[in-house]
Amino acid sequence: MKKFLQKVIVYISVLSFLVVLIIFFFRKDYQINFVSNSVAQNMKAAFIVKNYQRFNNSRIIVIGSSMSLNNIDAIQIEDSFKTPTFNLASWGMKLEDFKDYDIWRRGNTIILNMHFSDFGKSEIVKKRGFPFTNSSILQFYNTAFDFKTYLGQAEEAKVAVDSTSIKSYKWLKFDSSGSAMFSDSNFNKSANRWNKDPFLFYGINDTKLQEFVTTLQEVKKLKNTGFNFIISFSPGRRIFYTEQRMKTVEKLAELIHAHCSDILFINKYDFNMPDTFFVDNTHFNRTGAETYTREIIESIKADTRIKTYK
Amino acid sequence: MLFNSIEFLVFLPVVFLLYWFVFSRSLRLQNLLVLSASYFFYGWWSINFLGLLILSTCLDYLYGFGVVSTNKRRARLFLWLSIVNNLGILAVFKYYNFFAIQFQNGFERLGMHFDPILLNFALPIGISFYTFHGMSYVFDIYRKQQQPVSNFIDYAVFVSFFPLLVAGPIERASHLLPQIQEKRRFNYAQAVEGCRLILWGLFKKVVVADSLSEIVDSSFRNYQEDNAFSLIVGAISFSFQIYGDFSGYSDIAIGTAKLFGFELLSNFKFPYFSRDIAEFWRRWHISLSSWFRDYLYIPLGGSRNGKLKAVRNTFIIFLVSGFWHGASWNFIIWGGIHAMAFMPLLLLNRNRKYSADVVAKNNTLPTAKEFGQMLTTFSFVTLAWIFFRANDGVRLAFGYLGQIGKSVIQDPGQFLTAPKGWIAVLYIIPLLFGDWWLRRDERSLLKWGWPVNLVLGLLVWYHFGGNNSFIYFQF
C-alpha cells in the first residue's frame, strides 16, 4: 500500500508541476476573468474588475443580453441623467444570471432591455467566482480545470477586441461605460440572422411569459424595495412586426404590472426603425442604438415614478 | 456525479482511504462503506431516484427468497414478480411515452383522436443497468445457479456498486457476489493496473470521444448542407465517439473496482478489429449481449430447436437490444440492421468462426485479408451507427445517407479537400494504436512507461473541462 501511495503521489506531483508550468507558459492576458462558459461575460467580468470603482459608483445599471450590450448607449444615459451609468450586459445573459450581482439595492436604477430572445432558461454555466472575481487563486483554479476552454476563449477575446471586429457580430470592445455598439458602415451582415424571425425562432408562448415574470418576482425579493426597475422591449426589423405579436408584448406588460406593479415597462416593440439602423433581425448599429436609447430616455423622463440620483 | 468531474476526483480518494485504512478490519463495515458511497454517488445526481433504486433493490432481495422455494409454482410466481417489477419500472420510466405516442399515432390513422397523458420526468440514470442486475440475480436463483444472499448489505452492494451503477458493465451475481462476501486484501499490481485503466479510460472518453462530439453534432445537425466527405467523417467520428465514450467508461469502472480489490467482467474487447459481425457482437458491450443470450435467447430455445427458431430468437435478441438502448424507432431499426447482417453467418454456421483468437494474434500487422475483413465490418457497423445516432428519427438517418449519395455525385472533387473538424479525427490514431497494442494482452497496459502515462495524463487534463456526460447515461 505504501509503495502504491508513493507512486500515486509522485505521479500526481509531476503531473501537477507540468500543469502549472503549462498554465504559466501559455496563459494569455486577453482580458478574461474566467468565471463562466461565456467569453462575453468573462470579458465583461474582466472589464468590471479593471473599472471596479466606476462600476461600484454607478447608480444606473444596464443589464441583459446583447439586447442591452449592443442596443443601449449607456454613455448617453449617463449624460442625460447626469448619473454614473454602467452597462453590465453580455451575450446570452438572462435576468436570473444577474441575481449574483450586488446591484439590487436602494438608490439604484436597473434598466433591462429585452426582446423575444430573452425568454427561456439561461445557458450560462457559472464557475467559481461568478460573476467576477479579483482572486488569482480562483482564476487559477478555474483555468486549471478547464484549460482548453480558457485557451479557446482567450483567442476569441483577442479577435473580439480587434478593430476589424466592429463590423462583425463578435465585437466586444466595451466603451467607457461597458456598451459595445456595432459599426454603422460596411457591417458584415449575415443573411441567416437578417432573415430569421425571432418570434418564431424562440417559440414564444404564454408559459415563457409566465416564467419570465416568475423570475422577476424572485429578483424583486433580493433586496426589499428601493431600487427602480425599468424594462424596455425593443423593436426588431419592421418586417417581423405584427399586431398579434404586439399583443404578446402587451400581455407581458400586463403580467408584469399585475405581479410587479412598481416596474416601469416601456413597450417600444412598435417603434418603427428603418432597416438601415439594424445589423440583423434585432441588433442595432450605433445610430440605431443611439436613436433607440434616446426614445427610452424620453419615456423614463416622462414617468414621474422614476427618480434618478445625482 | 460523472467520472470526469472534480467531485469524483475528491470522492474517489476519500472513499479509497476510508476503505483501506479505516474500515478494512471489518468486512461488514467495508461493504457498508461501499454501499453508502454508492448511494451517495447516485444520490448526487438525484435523491428522488435514489429511492427508486433502493426500492428495486429491496424487492429483488425479497424475491430471491421466494424464488428458491421447492414449490415450483411459488418459485415461478416470484420469478415473474421480479420480471414484472423490473420491466414495469423500465416500462414506466423509459418506454411509457413511446408507447403512448405510438398508440396515439395508431388511433390518428384510424381517424380517431385522443391525447394520451405523457409522463414528464427525467429518465433515472442507470435504470437499464440496475434492473438487469436484479433480474439476473433472481433468474440465477431460480435456475439453481445461485443461492439467495442472506446479508442485505452484500446484495445491495452487488446491485449498486458505484463504479458500475450508472453504465455497467452488467455484472453477474455468481461473479461479483463472492468477491463482495470475501475479505479483500490490497494488491499492489491490481491497484496499479486499476489506475492505468482509469487513465486509459479517461483518455478514450475525455480526449477522444469529447473531441469528436463537436464534429458529430455538427454533421448530424447540418447534414443537408454538408458534403459527402464531411458526412462520412462525421459518421466515422461517431463510431469512435460512442466507442471511446462507452468503452472508456467501462475501463474507468473496471479500473476503479480494481482499486477496491474487485475484478469486474470485461465489457469491450477491441470490437473494431472484428472480422465479421458475429465477432463484433462478441466484443462489443459483452455484458449486455451475454445477458440477453443467457436470459432471453436461451430461455426462448436458443439454437436448440432448429434453424428457423434460431433465426427467430436471434432477431428477437437484436430488436430487443436495440430497443433497450432507447425508446425510439431508430434504435429498433439499428438492432434490425445488425440482425440482417448476422443472419447469413448464422444460416451458414459461420457465426463462431472467429470466436477463439484475436486478429493477427501472432503477427504485428494484419494480413491484407484480415485488414479487408476489419474494414468491411467497421464500415457496416458505422453505417448502422448512423441510425443509432439519428435522435430526431429515422428520416434523419435516411436523409444523412441520401445526402452522402447526392453529394458524391454532385461534387466528386470534395475528397481532395480537408473535411470539417479533421484535426479532432487525429485523436483516433493513438486510440487505434493503443487498442492494437493491447489486443493480445490487456495487461500489457502495465508496460506503458512513465512518459506515456504522463502524456496521457496531460491530454486528459487539457480536455477535462468539457461538459459532456457519457452517452450511455441515457440508458
d(CA A4, CA A7): 5
**A190: DSSP letter:** -
What's the rounded mean pLDDT across residues B254-271?
94
Catalytic residue, candidates B133, B285, B325, B338: B325
Residue B400 is placed in which grid cell? 444523412
**Which of B343, B316, B321, B347 is closest to B334 using CA atoms?**
B321
pLDDT tens digits, residue range B423-462? 777 889 889 988 888 887 777 776 778 888 999 999 999 9
Q: Is A4 on the interface with B (CB under 8 A)?
A: yes
Q: How far apart are CA B212 and CA B220, in angstroms?
A: 12
pLDDT at A309: 41
DSSP code of residue A179: -
pLDDT higher than threshold 60 for residue B474? no
Q: What is the pLDDT of residue B358?
A: 83
Report the chain B residue with the minimal C-alpha distance to residue A127: B465
Residues whose CB falls within 8 Å of the CB of residue A294, separated by 6 or more in sequence, listed in order? A76
**Chain B residue with Cα closest to A143:** B465
pLDDT level of residue B273 (50, 70, 90 thresholds): very high
Question: B116 CB near a chain A CB, below 8 Å?
Answer: no
Q: Can you tell me whether residue A111 is helix, strand or coil?
A: strand
Instruction: Note the pLDDT of residue A152.
Output: 86
- Tell me if chain B has a CB within 8 Å of the CB of A238: no
Nearest to A199 by CA among A252, A261, A258, A248: A248
| Inter-residue contact B137 to B64 (CB < 8 Å) | yes
Residue B116 has pLDDT above 90, yes or no: no
Band of the pLDDT at B123, cuts 50, 70, 90?
A: confident
Tell me, what's the pLDDT at B421?
Answer: 67
Extract the C-alpha cell encoding A49. 474588475
Contact B466 A148 (CB under 8 A): yes
- Would the pLDDT of B412 be above 80? no
Query: B186 touching A, CB under 8 A?
Result: yes
Q: With an 8 Å Cβ cutoff, is A9 touching chain B? A: no
What pLDDT band is residue B395 in, cutting at 50, 70 and 90? Answer: confident
| Per-residue model confidence (pLDDT) at position A310 | 34
**Alpha carbon of B117 to those of B49, B120, B319: distances in Å?**
21, 9, 27
* Cross-chain residue pair A11–B192, CB shorter than 8 Å: no
Q: How is the beta sheet containing A85-87 ordered, strand by strand?
A: A85-87, A60-63, A109-114, A228-233, A264-267
- Most confident option among A159-168, B146-155, B464-473: B146-155
Higher pLDDT, A176 or B229: A176
The chain A residue lying nearest B7, using CA atoms, is: A145
Q: Is B101 on the interface with A (CB under 8 A)?
A: no
Chain B contact set for A146 (CB, 8 A): 464-465
Q: Which of residues 37-96 of A touch B (CB under 8 A)?
A: 37
Decide: B270 and B442 in contact? Cβ < 8 Å.
no
- Which residues, listed in sequence order, are joined to residue B17 by a DSSP beta bridge? none
The residue whose grid cell reads 407581458 is: A252
pLDDT at B470: 52
**Among A14, A37, A145, beta carbon nearest to B454:** A14
Contacts of A37 in chain B (CB under 8 A): 467
Q: Is the peptide bond before A131 cis (omega within 30 degrees of 0)?
A: yes
At residue B359, the pLDDT reads: 85
List chain B residues with CB under 8 Å of A148. Answer: 462-466
Rg, chain B, Cα only: 23
In the predicted model, what is the mean pLDDT of chain B? 88
Question: Distance (Å, rounded) from C-alpha A70 to C-alpha B248?
Answer: 44
Beta strand pairing call for A85-87 and A228-233: unpaired
d(CA A4, nearest CA chain B) in Å: 6
Mean pLDDT computed over B177-198:
94
What pLDDT sits at residue A268? 95
**What pLDDT sits at residue A155?**
87
* Contact state of B195 with A8 under an 8 Å Cβ cutoff: yes
Portion of chain B with pLDDT greater than 70, in percent: 96
Closest residue on chain A to B207 (Cα): A148
Q: Between chains, do B462 and A14 touch, taking CB under 8 Å as contact?
A: no
Chain A residues with beta carbon closer than 8 angstroms to that of B186: 1, 4
Q: Residue A145's closest chain B neighbor by CA?
A: B465
B458, A18: Cβ pair inside 8 Å?
A: yes
CB-nearest to B465 from A8, A18, A146 is A146
Distance between CA atoms of B382 and B433, rounded to whole angstroms? 19
Measured distance CA(A101)–CA(A94) in Å, rounded: 13
B394 pLDDT band, cuts 50/70/90, is confident
What residues of chain A lie within 8 A of the CB of B211, using their CB?
none
Identify all chain B residues contacting A14, using CB atoms and an 8 Å cutoff: 454
**pLDDT exceeds cutoff 80 at B221:** yes
- Amino acid sitting at position A130: F
* Grid cell for residue A54: 466606476
User: How far separated are the first and last CA of chain B, in Å rounded?
Assistant: 16
CB contact under 8 A, A15 and B461: yes
d(CA B261, CA B277): 34
Q: Which residues sit opposite A285 in a β-bridge? A: A182
> How do residues B283-304 score in pLDDT, each as one tens digit?
999 999 999 999 999 988 888 8
| Confidence at residue B467, expressed as pLDDT on a 0 to 100 scale | 54
Per-residue pLDDT of B53-73, as tens digits, reads 999 999 999 999 999 888 889
For B331-354, what is each residue's pLDDT tens digit? Answer: 999 999 999 999 999 888 888 888
Contacts of A143 in chain B (CB under 8 A): none
Tell which wins on pLDDT, B201 or B107.
Answer: B201
- A residues 105..134 contacting B (CB < 8 A): 125
- The C-alpha of B180 sits at a distance from chain A's nearest C-alpha, in angstroms, of 20
B467 touches chain A (CB under 8 A): yes
Residues lower than pLDDT 70 in chain A: 28-30, 222-225, 304-310
Query: What is the share, in percent, of chain B residues with pLDDT greater than 90?
Result: 53
Cβ of residue B429 closer than 8 Å to a chain A Cβ:
no
- The answer to whether residue B466 scores a pLDDT higher than 80 is no
Which residue among A4, A18, A145 sits closest to B192, beta carbon to beta carbon?
A4
List B residues 2-31 in contact with A (Cβ-Cβ < 8 A). Answer: 6, 20
Judging contacts by C-beta atoms under 8 Å, the chain B residues touching residue A150 are 465
Q: Is B325 a catalytic residue?
A: yes
> Among all residues of chain A, which has the CA nearest to that of B449?
A11
Looking at chain B, which residue has its C-alpha nearest residue A36?
B465
| CA A137 – CA A124 distance, rounded (Å) | 22
A148 touches chain B (CB under 8 A): yes
